[in-house]
Structure 1
Amino acid sequence: MELKELRPYQKDLLNKTRQAYLQGYKSPCIVSPCGSGKTVIMSEMARKAAEKKNRVLFLVHRKELKDQTIDTLKWWGVDMNYIEVGMVQTIARRLEKTIPPKLIITDENHHSLAKSYKKVYDYFPNARLVGFTATPVRLNGGGLGEVNDVLVEGPTVQELIKWGNLAPFKYYAPEIVDTSKLKIRRGEYVAKDIEDLFQSRAIWGDVISHYKKLSEGKQAICYCSSIKQSKEMAEQFNKARIKARHIDGETPKPERETVIEYFRQGKILVLCNVDLISEGFDVPDCNTAILLRPTQSLGLFIQQSMRPMRYKEGKTAIIIDHVGNVGRFGTPDMEREWKLDPKKGSNNTKVEEENPVKQCPECFYTVERSTEICPECGHKFGQEEKEVEQVESELVEIGSFDGFTTDYREPKDCKNMGELYSLAKNKGYKPGWAYYQGKMMGFIK
């Protein structure tokens, strides 16, 4: 069987991982963005191990991911006689029946601190470990140092967009919803409170109207906070003559496969769900992500917001954020510093001195704070900015925008305020430094 060719950055990640083992590390965590082909890298690692007749245990946390992984391994030409792909919950219950592996590969490695994973790792202490994730961070902000001993980092989202491996995107935030009164349980917002937040007809109406305005006729995946809300959202789209369906983990598999096939064929425009279509779930390419679930999880935000960024020639992804997640995390292409250490005194909602972006009140496009005329609709920003700025003062910094380049090291290299804010972040400076430089350079009047 003819082997497929890895991309240069995928080969580089494999080489870095090999070097990590040679340096004495036992459990590297490979970090690479959504859509960068992590399953292919894992498949190549499994193929090389199987060639040496080494047993590989491949851990996933969902049945759908198991089926998809097996299909990809076979497609990549892996000798399946040496591979066991299993749901971690199942493997943890039948450890004594599992052939001891030489290598344990963990998909969605940010789950690896769960008891089921650690039970498997402890049972096979002589096996090498390797985990793959786009977000090596726990929900509480801590790192994965209890399991992994080194981070092996791949390219950034901005680099993948520049190289044509991910689609560029436009990010809209039509409603910055006040989440200050939502209760948090086990690190996440309480689903019932989120449901109550969305009972306003104005909010529901905005979802429909903004889809029509920003992405009408294009396929979208709508992420909701509960099954009830997802079903209601699908109903609202259908009432607006926009073909939509809801699926969840309890939807019978034949029905779910039928719905996804209809989505693939373009018979369905909007696919509503809760968390089902997030981590590694294989659905056809789509153009738009509609975010209706406020979350404290950076991982969940990145998985969902980047869903439409799979590359397709000529495509620009649309992300419509109705719940202010951009205020908590920034845009999905923001460069982030990952660490294995637990985050002491973590507070995921860090407030910066000044938010470098604002939303256009007419079309809701997210633009740099210094923008005077909206590039999307031509709106001239005026006195209304003061009111918007007060609302947005609680948002965290957004350090990158569509079309950014990272090839600047000094203020003179920057062409706009967005690049100045990105430079400030890279240098560890406060946003006020970028603001002052922008004043000096004439970006801010």
Structure 2
Amino acid sequence: MELRPYQINLLNKTRKAYLQGFKSPCIVAPCGAGKTVIMSDMAKKATEKGNRVLFLVHRKELKDQTLNTLKWWGADMDYIEVGMVQTIVRRLEKTIKPNLIITDENHHALAKSYRQIYDYFPNAKLVGFTATPIRLNGGGLGDVNDVLVEGPTVDELIEWGNLAPFKYYAPKLVDTDNLRIRAGDYVKKDIEDLFTNKIYGDVVAHYNKLSKGKKAIVYCSGIKQSKEVAKVFNENNIPAKHIDGNTKKEERDKVIQDFRDGKILVLSNVDLVSEGFDIPDCNTTILLRPTKSLGLYIQQSMRSMRYKEGKTAIIIDHVGNVNRFGLPNLDRKWSLETKPGSNETEPAENPVKQCPECYSTLLSNYVFCECGYEFKVEEKEVEIIEDAELEEVTESFVINTKGLEFESPDECKSMKDLSEYAKARNYKQGWVYFQSKSRGWI
């Protein structure tokens, strides 16, 4: 029960932030960095001083996991309340006033329910934990948090033996001759059209080729697709099960336990098995769900990277998400500020939604609310291009923005910035000249 050096460093930097006058730090650490242990240690130290802690999670599975870790870490549970946001927000007047509010998966913290809780306890210190400190629409978390406390990179965790190394397989951009180029880059809509509602490659064949006999989590776009995927794996004598937000808890728990025990090899789902799901001997992630959300991409693609001795994680991306975001170990520059071009009014994707009848907060893939309200779901048909071959992705395969402070030309503030941007993307220097001239810099 000892913290790792980088975990101690994160706690020390957070303590320093409070001493400097910040009231709501956001701690950033990659998936698999042991955030629940860090949070448990913070809660334990708070209770040792007689402070009350309110621990916010957004899913029942995360609540159970958090309670178990807090007890294992030796925290005084008489001073700690662990609650789902959708429950706490309905019983604020019955919640004992906390001195500290810890928010797990802090990228959800801009939701109305979270902010109601923060506003109800204005004197409580706040701290959030996340691997992806960005709003669902790509903006920053500056409306809730006042400082970022950043931990190690994915590559550092792999080097130190805290995450498994990985191999990434994806379809190469096809028919690029037909893609339009604007401002020295492919037109984003053309790339989206290549992959929207399309799955490249035979899913079972690539699993057998790249990770046969290993545990795999499959992320699908809809319930119908997920059930079909499980069916096809079973027809090929590969034990598989589907679960979704409306699967009864007893059945869902049994399926997940069977997956842990190796009774099934493939677990197919829709956004359900992502945040906080920890099965170290899960070797493979299969992406069948195109997404515009960087946070969702990182949470899902890295799900197979939990460390186990001798393991190399396999990520099989049939929908080209890597072409939008780069590899999971890309060294990204985070900020609390909203980036240029982010959509402030319409999130690209929202993993949670609110019931219009009882106002409960639910995962976006739930069809029924506890109150009985039914969300109408229309699933789009998916085109499957079975003869497509996937190939291993290396850093040279995708745009290399590692170490850059900007992710689009609009963020470049000088000719030097443009030159670095062009070099990372193998653009010709003529592009820098025309970009600079159009901005009046030359």
Asked if TM exceeds 0.5, the reply is yes
User: 1:177-326 maps to which residues of 2 (within 5 A)?
Assistant: 197=197, 203=199, 206-283=202-279, 285-326=281-322
Shift in alpha-carbon separation, 1:368–1:96, aligned structure 2, 3 A: closer
SS for the counterpart of 1:429 is helix
User: 1:79-158 maps to which residues of 2 (within 5 A)?
Assistant: 79-158=76-155
SS for the counterpart of 1:73 is helix
SS for the counterpart of 2:267 is strand
Shift in alpha-carbon separation, 1:266–1:204, aligned structure 2, 3 A: farther
Deviation string for 1:161-219 (max 9, x for gaps)?
Answer: 011100000000036589x9xxxxxxxx9xxx999935xxxx58611111111111111
Aligned-partner Cα distance in 2 for 1:363–1:88: 41
Offset of 1:242 from its aligned partner?
A: 1.1
5+ residue gaps, structure 2, are: 179-188, 349-387, 404-415, 429-442
Q: Are 2:365 and 1:365 equivalent residues in the alignment?
A: no
8 Å contact kept, 2:26–2:148: yes
Shift in alpha-carbon separation, 1:433–1:222, aligned structure 2, 3 A: closer
Aligned-partner Cα distance in 1 for 2:200–2:390: 17
Q: How many matched pairs?
A: 359
Offset of 1:256 from its aligned partner?
A: 1.3
Aligned-partner Cα distance in 2 for 1:399–1:214: 28
Amino acid at match of 2:284: T
Offset of 1:83 from its aligned partner?
A: 0.1
SS for the counterpart of 2:26 is strand
Offset of 1:264 from its aligned partner?
A: 1.4
Deviation string for 1:134-154 (max 9, x for gaps)?
Answer: 000012111000000000000
5+ residue gaps, structure 1, are: 181-188, 350-360, 370-391, 401-405, 407-424, 438-445
Offset of 1:28 from its aligned partner?
A: 0.2
Deviation string for 1:264-286 (max 9, x for gaps)?
Answer: 12111110001111111344530
Deviation string for 1:402-433 (max 9, x for gaps)?
Answer: xxxx9xxxxxxxxxxxxxxxxxx999812436
Offset of 1:259 from its aligned partner?
A: 1.2
TM-score normalised by the chain length of structure 1 = 0.75
Offset of 1:114 from its aligned partner?
A: 0.5
Deviation string for 1:111-166 (max 9, x for gaps)?
Answer: 00100000000010000000000000012111000000000000000100011100
Offset of 1:231 from its aligned partner?
A: 0.4
Q: Are 2:38 and 1:41 equivalent residues in the alignment?
A: yes
8 Å contact kept, 2:168–2:393: yes
Q: Which residue of 1 aligns with 2:423?
A: 432
Q: Are 2:314 and 1:331 equivalent residues in the alignment?
A: no
User: 1:24-35 maps to which residues of 2 (within 5 A)?
Assistant: 24-35=21-32
Shift in alpha-carbon separation, 1:268–1:60, aligned structure 2, 3 A: same
Where in structure 1 do 4 or more consecutive aligned residues deviate above 4 Å?
175-178, 193-196, 425-428, 433-437
User: 1:158-173 maps to which residues of 2 (within 5 A)?
Assistant: 158-173=155-170
TM-score normalised by the chain length of structure 2 = 0.76
8 Å contact kept, 1:177–1:324: no
SS for the counterpart of 1:310 is coil
Greater relative contact order (Cα 8 A, min sep 6): structure 1 or 2? 2
Q: Are 2:95 and 1:68 equivalent residues in the alignment?
A: no
Amino acid at match of 1:279: E
8 Å contact kept, 1:88–1:116: yes
